[in-house]
């Protein structure tokens, strides 16, 4: 399986601290050593960093741990290969453009029979179940909404239905983003935590490292972090229910729906 | 205007040396300080690094200069903004998936009236003429060839026609890649150079730096570098003709066609 990390914030925020914990699980405190990737949204802009080597030993990961990229939304993934060999094109997050926005996607789990679903407009570059599922999601969105829908209610409904359908194929813990919304689905494991004033100190589970967020933030900052497993040992993470679909927007949990 | 750098090689090769010269032109030896980007193909895999700051001062660029990423095809761009503000989404190379391949595109020039052309499937995320033109190219390719064409002759013909049509809108110096082919068009300035055995020493124009390629290569390596302006002072660069469309494949110039 794999591990996921997401962030949604109301102000451009770096993820160096959380990322420093996660990368250890890629070959040091965890077995997820088959490549990794991280995607940052900066306004409408999007950039991602990918490496097919273990994150715990990756030079690119070391760079990202120490270089502060400020972003309002982040999706990160470290991989333990199940379907699809270890190579660059099989590293998550995957990304595609739809309606002039970059959509990105990272997945934990396996989806039995997913490749029997026909694809049209979006095709996978690599060989993972996950990228295939992402292409199928975007095919469906672009078919239902040939142009960007007004308002978000309709879109949200279709995304939720699509996620629930995919979850019937196996394990589907997912983070998917456009430039504003972070869509999540918990099939078996996802936890989240919102940090806001008064900020306190946080201590990583996977590394001897702590940070005093009071020194790093301003009073109005609201930042939510989502992960397959809690990254800090002294904060109150909320475990999502199996079958929970949630949307995070500007740092806060915005919508939640249970099956 | 902007500056372009491309590489095509028959063996995975790093571009640290050429890139070290180019980045100087982003704020030090040149005025192209409005962001930059570089894209690497590794097999079918693709990864890119983008930064909206001047390449001469960019921490990401420093990392790329010293971290050897081996690739058979590279496209790099440093930007002097004309159309479209300075921001991440306006940095080249742009990329999109078509037929399960990642296509990438970097452009030097301005294209008058380009935004009057209608777009369908591919839409720009940023506001540059260049990304708009790229979307229009891929729209046309996906319309002419709903699935990946067998053989390359037909595809090559359509790409050449499309490039020539775009060149009537203004200045169109371009590098466009799929995972194998590097397509180029010279509207006003592009030069290229093929390095092969016996390898010699090369000296950068923009930095006090030279490299002895004999130490870095094996006898069968063939590597072509393409740039808007020659990057080295002691090698014989070939200047492309205005209106020249060329394709590079596995390190060699593969096809050339003049208007």
Q: What is the mean pLDDT of chain B?
A: 95
pLDDT band at A173 (very low <50, low <70, confident <90, very high): very high
Q: What is the mean pLDDT of residues B230-251?
A: 96
pLDDT band at A129 (very low <50, low <70, confident <90, very high): very high
**Interface membership of B49 toward A (CB under 8 Å):** yes
A50–B47 C-beta distance less than 8 A: yes
Question: What structural domains and CATH numbers belong to chain B?
Answer: 3-258 (3.60.20.10)
3-state secondary structure chain A: CCEEEEEEEEEEECCHHHHHHHHHCECCCCECCCCEEEEEEECCEEEEEEECCCHHHCHHHHHHHHCCCCEEEEEEEECCCCCCCCCHHHCCCEEEEECCEEEEEEEECCECCHHHCCCCCCCCCCCCHHHHHHHHHHHHHHHHCCCCCCCCHHHHHHHHHHHHHHHCCECCEEEEECCCEEEEEECCCCEEEEECCCCCEEEECCCCCEEEHHHHCCCCCCEEEEECCCCECCCCCEECCCCEEEEEECCEEEEEEEC
Residue B35 has pLDDT above 90, yes or no: yes
Residue A108 has pLDDT above 90, yes or no: yes
Residue A1 has pLDDT above 80, yes or no: no
Check residue B17 and give its pLDDT: 92
Q: Name the minimum distance, in Å, from the CA of A101 to any CA of chain B.
A: 6
The CA distance from B35 to A126, in Å, is 29
**Interface membership of A35 toward B (CB under 8 Å):** no
Q: What is the mean pLDDT of residues A233-240?
A: 96
B124–A44 C-beta distance less than 8 A: no
Residue for token pair 């004999």: B214
Q: Is A2 an active-site residue?
A: yes
pLDDT band at B81 (very low <50, low <70, confident <90, very high): confident
Residue A99's closest chain B neighbor by CA? B123
B42–A88 C-beta distance less than 8 A: yes
A50: chain B residues, CB-CB within 8 Å: 45, 47
Q: What is the mean pLDDT of residues B101-115?
A: 97
Residue B103's closest chain A neighbor by CA? A125
Residue B215 has pLDDT above 90, yes or no: no
pLDDT band at B210 (very low <50, low <70, confident <90, very high): very high
A87–B43 C-beta distance less than 8 A: yes
Residue B91 has pLDDT above 80, yes or no: yes
Residue B213 has pLDDT above 80, yes or no: yes
Check residue A71 and give its pLDDT: 96
What is the percentage of chain B residues whose pLDDT exceeds 70? 100
Q: How many CB pairs under 8 A join A and B?
A: 84
pTM for the structure as a whole: 0.96
Give phi and psi for A217, each to the nearest 5: -125, 170
Which of B34, B37, B43 is the best mutation test for A, with the most CBs of A within 10 A? B43
Which structure tokens are listed for A49?
Answer: 């960093």
Burial group, residue B236, by CB count within 10 angstroms (0-12, 13-18, 19+): exposed
Residue A259 has pLDDT above 80, yes or no: no
Q: Name the minimum distance, in Å, from the CA of B100 to any CA of chain A.
A: 5
Q: How many CB atoms lie within 10 A of CB A103?
A: 22
**Interface membership of B180 toward A (CB under 8 Å):** no
Of A47, A63, A87, the CB nearest to B88: A47
Check residue B82 and give its pLDDT: 82
Least confident of A47-51, A118-122, B206-210: B206-210
**Interface membership of A259 toward B (CB under 8 Å):** no
Q: What is the mean pLDDT of residues B205-215?
A: 91
Residue B130 has pLDDT above 90, yes or no: yes
pLDDT in tens, A64-100: 999 999 999 999 999 998 888 999 999 999 999 999 9
Residue B10, Cα to own-chain centre: how many angstroms?
Answer: 17
pLDDT in tens, A203-214: 999 999 999 998
A47: chain B residues, CB-CB within 8 Å: 48-51, 88
Check residue B115 and give its pLDDT: 97
A99: chain B residues, CB-CB within 8 Å: 123
Which structure tokens are listed for B101?
Answer: 């391949």
pLDDT band at B151 (very low <50, low <70, confident <90, very high): confident
B45–A87 C-beta distance less than 8 A: yes
Q: What is the mean pLDDT of chain A?
A: 95
**Contact of A12 with A42, CB cutoff 8 Å:** yes
B125–A97 C-beta distance less than 8 A: yes
Which structure tokens are listed for A165?
Answer: 């359908």
Check residue B107 and give its pLDDT: 97
Which structure tokens are listed for A247?
Answer: 């949307």
The DSSP line for chain B is --EEEEEEEEEEE--HHHHHHHHHTBTTSSB--S-EEEEEEETTEEEEEEESS-GGG-HHHHHHHHS---EEEEEEEE---SSS-SSGGGPSPEEEEETTEEEEEEEES-BTTGGGS---S---SS--HHHHHHHHHHHHHHHH-SSPPSSSHHHHHHHHHHHHHHHTTB--EEEEE-SSEEEEEESS--EEEEEESSP-EEEBSSSS-EEEHHHH--TT-EEEEEESS-SBSSS-PEEPPTTEEEEEETTEEEEEEE-
A49–B49 C-beta distance less than 8 A: yes
Enumerate residues 6+ apart whose C-beta is below 8 A from B252. B8, B10, B194, B222, B224
pLDDT band at B110 (very low <50, low <70, confident <90, very high): very high
The ipTM estimated for the assembled molecules is: 0.95
Check residue A74 and give its pLDDT: 98
Residues 61-120 of A with CB under 8 A from B: 63, 67, 87-89, 91, 96-97, 99-102
Pairing of strands A36-42, A45-51: antiparallel
The CA distance from A93 to A89, in Å, is 10
A102–B123 C-beta distance less than 8 A: no
Residue B1 has pLDDT above 80, yes or no: no
A100–B45 C-beta distance less than 8 A: no
Check residue B58 and give its pLDDT: 94
pLDDT in tens, B167-182: 999 999 999 999 999 9
The DSSP bridge partners found for residue B174 are B107, B185
**Interface membership of A124 toward B (CB under 8 Å):** yes
Q: Of the candidates A233, A202, A234, which has an alpha carbon nearest to the alpha carbon of residue A215?
A: A202
Residue B216 has pLDDT above 90, yes or no: no
**Interface membership of B213 toward A (CB under 8 Å):** no
B88: chain A residues, CB-CB within 8 Å: 42-43, 45-47
The CA distance from A141 to A131, in Å, is 15
């Amino acid at each position: 399986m794999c591990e996921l990390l997401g962030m949604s914030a109301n102000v451009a925020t770096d993820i160096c601290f959380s990322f420093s914990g996660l990368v250890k699980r890629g070959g040091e405190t965890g077995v997820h050593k088959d490549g990794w990737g991280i995607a940052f949204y900066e306004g409408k802009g999007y950039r991602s960093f990918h490496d097919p080597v273990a994150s715990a030993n990756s030079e690119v990961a070391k760079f990202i741990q120490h270089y502060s990229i400020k972003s309002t939304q982040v999706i990160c993934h470290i991989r333990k290969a199940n379907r699809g060999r270890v190579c660059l094109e099989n590293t998550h997050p995957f990304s595609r453009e739809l309606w002039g926005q970059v959509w990105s996607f990272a997945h934990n789990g396996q989806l039995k029979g997913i490749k029997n679903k026909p694809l049209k407009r979006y095709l996978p570059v690599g060989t993972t179940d996950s990228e295939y599922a992402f292409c199928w999601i975007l095919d469906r969105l672009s078919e239902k909404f040939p142009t960007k829908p007004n308002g978000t209610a309709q879109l949200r409904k279709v995304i939720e239905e699509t996620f629930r359908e995919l979850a019937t194929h196996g394990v589907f813990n997912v983070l998917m983003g456009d430039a504003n919304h972070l869509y999540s689905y918990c099939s078996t494991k996802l936890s989240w935590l919102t940090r806001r004033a008064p900020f306190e100190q946080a201590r990583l589970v996977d590394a001897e490292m702590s940070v005093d967020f009071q020194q790093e933030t301003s009073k109005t900052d609201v930042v939510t972090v989502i992960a397959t497993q809690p990254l800090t040992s002294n904060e109150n993470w909320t475990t999502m229910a199996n079958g929970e679909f949630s949307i995070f927007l500007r740092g806060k949990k915005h919508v939640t729906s249970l099956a």
